Amino acid sequence: MKSSSRLVFAASALAAAAFSLSPATAQEKVLKVVPHADLKVLDPVNVTAAITYIHGLMIYDSLMALDANLTPQPQMAQGVEVSADKLTYTFTLRPGLKWHDGTPVTSADLVPSLKRWMARAPVGQKLSPSIASLEAPNPNTFVIKLKEPYALTLYSLGLAGPVFMPQKVAETDPNTSITSSVGSGPYKFVASEWKPGAKVLYEKNKDYVPRSEAPSFFSGGKVVKLDKVEWTILPDANTTAAALGRGEVDYWNNPPADFVKILSANPEITLQILHPLGWINIGRTNALLPPFNNVKARQALAYAFADQTEFMQAAYGDQRWWRTCGSYFVCGTAYGTEAGSEPYAKRDIAKAKQLLAESGYKGEKIVVVNTKEIPVIYALTSVAIPRMKEIGLNVEEQVVDWSGFIGRIQKKDPIDQGGWNFFTTNGTGMTFHHPLTNLGTPMQCDGKNWFGWPCDEATEALRTKFLNAPDDASRKAAIEVYHRALMEQQPAVNLGQAASPEAWRKNVVGMVSTHLPVFWNVTKN
């Protein structure tokens, strides 16, 4: 993944060709964005891909939203009343909410939307057992009744994000991706302009009425100051860097590590970390299939991968943008304990080989799924494969495009029917910092947890104990015990923590500090 300024400027002609799109009118403000990946799936409930979630933030709104202090605030809701016994939550919708097709948003839309989200999201799956009923007594009132108090109810709703859709769309089976993109959020998805692999276009929702508060993380007033936001898919980083340097694009989402130093030399470009929680990087095993259905094989990988430095250097380059971390819940945060990680602080190949043998592994083919379309994933996997071979795993790397990667890791099939054993990925620290939201740590045995489906009811019971703790002191005590159990089970292998910067032209102002880029409050001077 080596590159140089010579290559960047040599690519400028190609960059110019890539932007031979119809010019905007003189009156329009169009922000031209190069996202970190191609948009292949439109459903932010059905997949966990960050690019699909960013798409969701553009066009959908949320009932509640977290502010910069990670405190839930009303968003689509005008307000919320909580009964004295903490069992009834009554939400009143803000006036003037409309779907993009012009029909009004009603509480009847929220009921199936919330049910669909609870069926897929780990946060929703934890909230769901506490719910006695979801009711829509009138078009402007939405009521959640609980069976028992659940302290994280509003926090969970603040994390639900862009999942609220018109009733007919929301009634789609949660395991089937929607094809509609009718939301009620600040931008409209222009379906006729969507060209996978090339272009995605959003235009200002002129009917959207923002809240009066200042924007704070995902809460507050989502004031749209742009006429359009245009995503251009450019898989070649040299082309993107040249285009950003020449002002042919305005914003580059998550530029690869090799290009950060080059971009920093350009006085017309801003490089900034938008949210300090950054990214968590993991290796994920398929716990349904041998050998990683055996905990000893998962532990073997943890010993083989213990040197996080080589993973982070390959994926993020300069150490200013990364650190090693033995916590599943983001080092430096309230729950960022490293308890139990001590055995995996140093690589131990002999121990890894011993554990792999004890797991019953007999040299069977191990399918590792990789993609070149996401540079971080490709770099992490390229480091992982030699370490896997070093401990005796018979690795077959299968490199696929991004949509193929997303589709593949959802499969529970045996290897000879298109299944998989291992992949690497990263996720936002905002997602991974809390046991409620962390995708990699739920270990319930119903097969509804995240791809890889690790199962250990005793560890999951410790997670439930944490989530049901009545106060912060109790949660901090519970997190230590829970984290030690996770380190024993290794549902995912920690590969390091990063906080890579975003890049945009100096004339772009108003970026909101969030863990994923949002384009409300943003304008071009």
**CA distances in angstroms from 177 to 39, 51, 115, 116, 373, listed in the order given:** 13, 15, 15, 11, 22
CATH number for the domain including 217?
3.40.190.10
Convert the pLDDT of each residue in 310-369 to its tens digit.
999 999 988 888 999 999 999 999 899 999 999 999 999 999 999 999 999 999 999 999
Task: Indicate whether 489 and 391 sit together in one domain.
Answer: yes
2: left (phi > 0), else alpha (psi -120 to 50), else beta? beta
Task: Indicate whether 449 and 364 sit together in one domain.
Answer: yes
Convert the pLDDT of each residue in 165-197 to its tens digit.
999 999 999 999 999 999 999 999 999 999 999
Question: What is the pTM (predicted TM-score) of this model?
Answer: 0.79
Structure tokens at 503: 């890049």
Query: Residue range 512-523: average pLDDT?
Result: 94
Residue 13: pLDDT band (50, 70, 90) is very low
CATH number for the domain including 361?
3.10.105.10
Convert the pLDDT of each residue in 146-155 to its tens digit.
999 998 999 9
Convert the pLDDT of each residue in 394-425 to its tens digit.
999 999 998 899 999 999 999 999 999 999 99
Task: Indicate whether 217 and 324 sit together in one domain.
Answer: no
Residue 8: pLDDT band (50, 70, 90) is very low
Convert the pLDDT of each residue in 480-514 to its tens digit.
999 999 999 999 999 999 988 899 999 999 999 99
Task: Indicate whether 269 and 290 sit together in one domain.
Answer: no
Separation of alpha carbons 493 and 229, rounded Å? 37
For residue 41, is it within any domain?
Answer: no
Task: Indicate whether 516 and 433 sit together in one domain.
Answer: no
Task: Give pLDDT, residue 26.
Answer: 56
Q: Which residue has the higher pLDDT, 358 or 430?
A: 358
Task: Give pLDDT, residue 256.
Answer: 86
Task: Indicate whether 127 and 21 sit together in one domain.
Answer: no
Separation of alpha carbons 83 and 320, rounded Å? 48
Q: Considering only 44-48, 60-64, 182-186, 297-301, which range has the smallest mean pLDDT? A: 44-48
For residue 378, is it within any domain?
Answer: yes
Determine the straight-line distance between the first and last CA of the chain, rounded to whole angstroms: 34
Task: Indicate whether 302 and 406 sit together in one domain.
Answer: yes
Mean pLDDT for all residues in the chain = 92
**Listed residue (511, 35, 24) closest to 228, CA to CA:** 24
Task: Indicate whether 430 and 507 sit together in one domain.
Answer: no
**Listed residue (515, 325, 323) closest to 437, CA to CA:** 515
Domain enclosing residue 314, as ranges: 279-498
Q: Which residues pair with 189 in a beta bridge?
A: 202
Task: Indicate whether 316 and 388 sit together in one domain.
Answer: yes
Task: Indicate whether 295 and 359 sit together in one domain.
Answer: yes
For residue 178, is it within any domain?
Answer: no
Q: Examine the pLDDT at 519 and tell me if it is beyond 70.
A: yes
Structure tokens at 165: 């859709």
**CA distances in angstroms from 24 to 32, 99, 129, 157, 324, listed in the order given:** 11, 26, 50, 38, 45
Of 170, 202, 228, the residue at which a domain comes to its end is 170
Task: Give pLDDT, residue 2.
Answer: 39
For residue 144, is it within any domain?
Answer: yes
Task: Indicate whether 266 and 288 sit together in one domain.
Answer: no
For residue 98, is it within any domain?
Answer: yes
Residue 18: pLDDT band (50, 70, 90) is very low
Q: Examine the pLDDT at 120 and tell me if it is beyond 70.
A: yes
Q: Can you give the three-state secondary structure of 203-266, one letter per residue? A: EECCCCCCCCCCCECCECCCCCCCCEEEEECCCCHHHHHHHHHHCCCCEECCCCHHHHHHHHCC
Task: Give pLDDT, residue 25.
Answer: 55
Query: Residue range 217-241: average pLDDT?
Result: 96
For residue 85, is it within any domain?
Answer: yes
Task: Give pLDDT, residue 428.
Answer: 87
For residue 46, is it within any domain?
Answer: no
Q: How many domains does the chain have?
A: 3
Separation of alpha carbons 439 and 409, rounded Å? 14
Separation of alpha carbons 158 and 502, rounded Å? 25
Q: Are 429 and 279 in contact (CB under 8 A)?
A: yes
The H or E element that residue 300 is part of is helix 295-304
For residue 58, is it within any domain?
Answer: no
Task: Indicate whether 148 and 77 sit together in one domain.
Answer: yes
CATH number for the domain including 82?
3.90.76.10
Query: Residue range 237-243: average pLDDT?
Result: 95
